[in-house]
Amino acid sequence: MARPEKRTTLREVAEATGLSTAAVSYALRGKQVSKETEERVRKAAADLGYEADPIARALASGRTSMIGVLAGDLQDLWQQHLMAAIGRELLAGDRYALILDAGGDPARELALAKQLRDQRVDGLLVSPVDPSAEGWSKIADTVPVVSIGDALSRARTAGEVLFDNRAGIDAVLDYLRGLGHRRVTVLTPTGPSTPDRPADVYVREAADRLGIEVEVLPCAQELGEATAVARRVLAAGGGGAAGGDRGAVGDGGLAGGDGSVAGGGRPNAVFCFSDSIAYGVYAAAAEASLTIGRDISVVGFDDHPVSRVLTPPLTTVDWGLTDIAKEAARLAVAAIEGRRVRRKRILCAPRLSERGSALRVPE
Amino acid sequence: MARPEKRTTLREVAEATGLSTAAVSYALRGKQVSKETEERVRKAAADLGYEADPIARALASGRTSMIGVLAGDLQDLWQQHLMAAIGRELLAGDRYALILDAGGDPARELALAKQLRDQRVDGLLVSPVDPSAEGWSKIADTVPVVSIGDALSRARTAGEVLFDNRAGIDAVLDYLRGLGHRRVTVLTPTGPSTPDRPADVYVREAADRLGIEVEVLPCAQELGEATAVARRVLAAGGGGAAGGDRGAVGDGGLAGGDGSVAGGGRPNAVFCFSDSIAYGVYAAAAEASLTIGRDISVVGFDDHPVSRVLTPPLTTVDWGLTDIAKEAARLAVAAIEGRRVRRKRILCAPRLSERGSALRVPE
DNA sequence: TTGAAAGCGTTACCAT
DNA sequence: ATGGTAACGCTTTCAA
C-alpha cells in the first residue's frame, strides 16, 4: 500500500505529442486549439492515462470545483437529508460538496466558513445557525455565498433560498388556535449563544397577535437530549410548560395519568422548530403513556420523510426539500460561473401537512 | 463580492521578519528553530493575519488533510447518520471529510473512489456497496483505505471496521424462529448489479440451516420506493411473499382484511437489511391497516435512532454507530500518519434490540 | 494556433 | 539554526 506510483503529468503528455504544456493544457480543455490537435492530444492523454491534478490546477487557477456546504447542525435529521440531497445535486454537476457541521455553534460556524474559504472552495452553501452574525459579511465578500433558510442580514450573498418562517409559524399557530389551543410550548434548536434567531423572535410576535401564550424553550436536536427536554415539558403537565430556568432539571417525574394529561386540564400543545425535536416529544410521550394526538398535540417543522411513518403521523411544515437543494446548487453554480440569474432570492412557501398529531381541544 | 483581497503569503512574513521563507515555514510548524525566533515569527504572522494556504501546502507536501468518505447509499438514513458522525470525528482531528454518495451503484462507487484519490485525499473511508469488486485493489494500493461494514475482499486495506453480519443475521433469524416464524421475507438494498453481497448470500445459508424459508427481494432505501415494495409484499399476504419476479408489479391491491393478515394464515415476517427499508414496511402496513407487531412482524438492521420512536418501536440490530465512526476515523488517521496499530480489523458484534415489532406466531 | 515562461504559495532538500 | 532554491503540476499572459 501507499506506493504513489507517479501519476502522468501534463509535461509527459506534452513530450509524447511534441507540443508544449500550454498547448496540451488548452487542448484538454477544448480551448483555442484546432480540432485536429485536440483529438491527437486527447488520444495521447488517454493512452498515458493522464488526468489533471486537481490540486495543481487549484493552485494555478484558484478554482477547486469544490463547494463548501456548511450545516448549522447535522444532528438534525432534516439537515442530514438536505446535505445528502445537495451533495447529489452538486455531484451531478461535477462538483464536490465539502460538507461540514457547525454543531449548532455560531462561533464554530464562522470559523468553519473561513476554513472552507481558505480551502479555496469555489462557493459556499450555508444553512446558518446565526444568520445575523457580523462575520458573514467578510466571508461573502471573498467567496460566493448562498444561504439556505434565513437570510444573512449583514452580508451581500450571491443567492438565497429562504424559508418563509413567518408564514410557516403563522400557519402553525393559526392551526393550533383553530383547534382551541391558547397555550403553546415552543421547542427551538437555538442555543444560548444565539438568542435572537428570526424564528424565535417571530413566534412571540405572532403568538401575541393571535392571543396565544407561548413559552419558548431551547432544545438540542439529538434524540436523547430532545427526549430529556420533552420529558420535563410533559412532566410540567397542563397547558403550561416546564420552568424557563434552563439550568433546573425539574423533578424528573413523569405525568402520572394514564391516557390523560397530568393535572387533567387542557392538553398541552408543543410546537417543535424541527421534526427531530418532535421525535423527542414522541419518545417522551410514550414513556409517560401519553397518546399524541389525543392527550397532547405536537407539530413539527421541516417535514422529514419519517415523520409520516410515526404514529400518529406528525403534522409539520414542509418546504420542499428537493427543490431547495436544486435551487441552492443552481444559485451557487451560477454565481461561481459569473452568470447572472433572474431571481437570486427564492422564497419557499410553507405547506402545512396536517397529519393527526394535533388534536382539537375539547370544550 | 469576489474581491479576493490578496492573502498575506509566507514571503511577506519572511520579509517582515527578515528571515527566509524556509525559516518561517519551519518556525510556523515548530520545527528546527529556536524558541526565540519561533515566537517572533508567530507574532509577525499573527500581526499580518497570515494563514497558510491549504492548496499550496497540498501541492508541495502531497497532503491535503482531507479524507474521502464514500457512502454506499445516502438514501439510507443510518448511513446519513454515520457520515455525519464521521465528519464530526474527523473535524475534531482537524481533518475534513469529503463526503460522496455512490447512490447504491457499484460502478459509480469505484469511479468516485478514483476521483477522490485524484483529489489527493489523504485517506479513504468507504462503506462499500460492492466489497468484492476488483477495482478496490488498485485504489487501496494508491491511498490508505478503511472499509466499514464489509471487508474489501480483493484489496489490501489499511483498516477495517466490520459488522459481523453472520452473527447479526443469525441472531435475527434465530429470534424469528423462536417466535414461531418459518417463512420470512428479506428486503435487501442490494441492486441487480451486485447480486452477491455477503449478507444476501449468508441469509440464505442461515435460513436453510434453521429450516426457515426465505424470499430475498431487492428494495430501495428511499422511503417512497421502499413503501412501494413493502406494499406488494404485504399484498401478497399470508406467510409467503411477493412473487420473485422483480419486473412484475403485482396487482397493486392491498391486504383486504382489517386487523388480520390477508388470507388469514400465519403472520408474515419481514426482515429488512436496513431500518430505512423497515420504515417503508411501517408505511405500507399503515396503509393496509395492518398492525405491526400483531398482524405482521418486522425486524430492521442497523438501529437508527428514530427506530425507537416508531409504534411499535422497531426491533433491530445495533452495531454501535458512535464507536464505528470513532474507530474508522482512528484507523484512517493512523494509516495516514504511518503509525502502526494493534488491531487493524475491528469486528463489531451485533446487539439485537428487541422492541416489539415482531410477534409470536399463535399456535 | 502554438510556444516560452512567469507565476501560484508552499515544502523539503542541501548547504552553510 | 537558518538560508537558498529546486520542486509540486498546472494555468495563463505575452509573443511568435
**Mean pLDDT throughout A296-316?**
97
Q: Smallest CA–CA separation between B77 and chain A, in Å? A: 8
Covered bases, chain C (protein CB within 7 Å): 1-5, 7-13
**Residue lying closest to nucleotide D11, CA to C1':** A60
Report chain A's mean pLDDT, rounded to a whole number.
88
Q: What ranges in B146-240 are assigned the alpha helix state H?
A: 165-178, 198-210, 223-236
% residues pLDDT > 90 (chain B)? 65
- Contact status, residue B338 vs residue B311, Cβ threshold 8 Å: no
**Mean pLDDT throughout A331-335?**
93
Report the distance separating Cα B183 and Cα B210, nearest Å: 11
Q: Which carries the bigger pLDDT value, residue B131 or residue A250?
A: B131
| β-sheet bridge partners, residue B162 | B149, B347
- Contact status, residue B176 vs residue B164, Cβ threshold 8 Å: no
Q: Which residue of A has its CA nearest to B309?
A: A283
Report the distance separating Cα A321 and Cα A183, nearest Å: 30
Q: Is the CB of A58 under 7 A from strand D?
A: no
Tell me: pLDDT of A240 over 50.
no
Q: Is the CB of A10 under 7 A from strand D?
A: yes
Contacts of A306 in chain B (CB under 8 A): 77, 223, 279, 306
pTM across the whole model:
0.88
Give the pLDDT score at A1.
Answer: 41
Q: Residue B267: pLDDT band by 50, 70, 90 thresholds? A: low
Q: Residue A238: pLDDT band by 50, 70, 90 thresholds? A: low
Give the pLDDT score at B242.
Answer: 38
Give the pLDDT score at B351.
Answer: 97
Give the pLDDT score at B261.
Answer: 36
pLDDT in tens, A95-109: 989 999 999 999 999
Q: Do A310 and B309 touch (CB under 8 A)?
A: yes
Interface membership of B4 toward A (CB under 8 Å): yes
- Look up residue B356 and give its three cell numbers: 416489539
Interface test with B, best of A309, A314, A344, A355 (most B CBs within 10 A): A309
Least-confidence region, from B102-106, B113-117, B352-356: B113-117
Tell me: pLDDT of B188 over 60.
yes
Least-confidence region, from A41-45, A325-329, B175-179: A41-45
Give the pLDDT score at A218.
Answer: 95
Say whether A124 sits in a helix, a strand or coil. strand
Tell me: pLDDT of B195 over 80.
no
- Contact status, residue B8 vs residue B50, Cβ threshold 8 Å: yes
Give the pLDDT score at A363.
Answer: 64
Give the pLDDT score at B37.
Answer: 86
**Residue lying closest to nucleotide D6, CA to C1':** B60
Q: Residue B363: pLDDT band by 50, 70, 90 thresholds? A: low
Q: Do A305 and B223 touch (CB under 8 A)?
A: yes
Q: Which carries the bigger pLDDT value, residue A131 or residue A260?
A: A131
DSSP B115-170: HHHHTT-SEEEEE-S-TT-TTHHHHHHHS-EEEEES--TTS--SEEEEE-HHHHHH
pLDDT in tens, A201-210: 999 999 999 9
Interface membership of B10 toward A (CB under 8 Å): no
**Mean pLDDT throughout B43-56?**
90
